[in-house]
Amino acid sequence: MKKGDETKEKIYEEAFKLFMSKPYELVTVSDIEKVIGKTRGAIFYHVKDKHELFEKVIEKYFLKSQNIYEEIGEDIFKKDITLLEFIDIFTSAIEKRFNNLYAFIGIDKANTKKSLLAKANCSYLTLLTNTGYYLDSYNEKMDNIFIMTKNTWSFFIQKAIEKGEVKPNTNVKLFGEIFTSIYTGKSFYDAFSNGVDEKAIKELLIEVYNKIKV
């Protein structure tokens, strides 16, 4: 990686941590200079202003991370897997996503109190949900990601019907919505208590799966 690219990555990384720690409107240029350890001239050589920096950070650390294909790959549709196997793949991707988040902000998940994990999750989700107020295109992009996730679940439910894995009268669209909502709802709820629990999400997904399996 070139030095200029390394500098830009460093700027994005530290800015992400900063935007997680306080609301966008309260983040000053002085704050950005302090956490990054560079002058505003050096910072704004790579981005034109705070708003563009925020936009780049959200694109890199939120929109990309929420895209499930970043973890499971777009070739997932070509693989001959069962719905049950997809549940395992999906929840493993969730676990990897949050483990990467913890590692990135310097949290050792295995040795950290659940209350502190919850605090980190809340900071992440608060920024995730509030960003639409500051970035015009964000809500549409997030909506597309959720639609994509629902369509992916529906795809594997339909394949499971064709393979005789689940009941033939299973409502594909409805259960696509249900599986997606379990992840989004449970993640959001748990973030305010003990932190996101991937195992609990998987247990709920499998419980629903057991309702429709043959």
DSSP secondary structure letter of residue 168: T
Give the separation between CA 84 and CA 86, rounded to whole angstroms.
5
Domains defined along the chain, listed by start: 3-62 (1.10.357.10), 67-212 (1.10.357)
CB 193 within 8 A of CB 121: no
Task: Spell out the per-residue pLDDT of the chain, length 214, in tens.
Answer: 566 568 888 889 889 889 988 889 999 989 999 988 888 888 888 888 999 999 999 998 888 877 777 778 778 888 899 999 999 999 998 888 888 877 877 787 777 787 887 788 788 888 888 899 999 888 998 898 889 899 999 999 999 999 999 999 999 999 999 999 998 888 777 777 777 788 889 999 999 999 999 9
pLDDT at 7 (0 to 100): 83
DSSP secondary structure letter of residue 194: T
Tokens of 154: 């529906």
Three-class secondary structure assignment of 103-131: HHCCCCHHHCCHHHHHHHHHHHHHHHHHH
Tokens of 53: 């920096």
Q: How far apart are the first and last CA of the chain?
A: 52
pLDDT at 4 (0 to 100): 59
Q: Enter the pTM of the model.
A: 0.84
Q: Name which of 206, 204, 58, 60 is nearest 134 in CA terms.
A: 58
CB 86 within 8 A of CB 94: no
pLDDT at 154 (0 to 100): 96
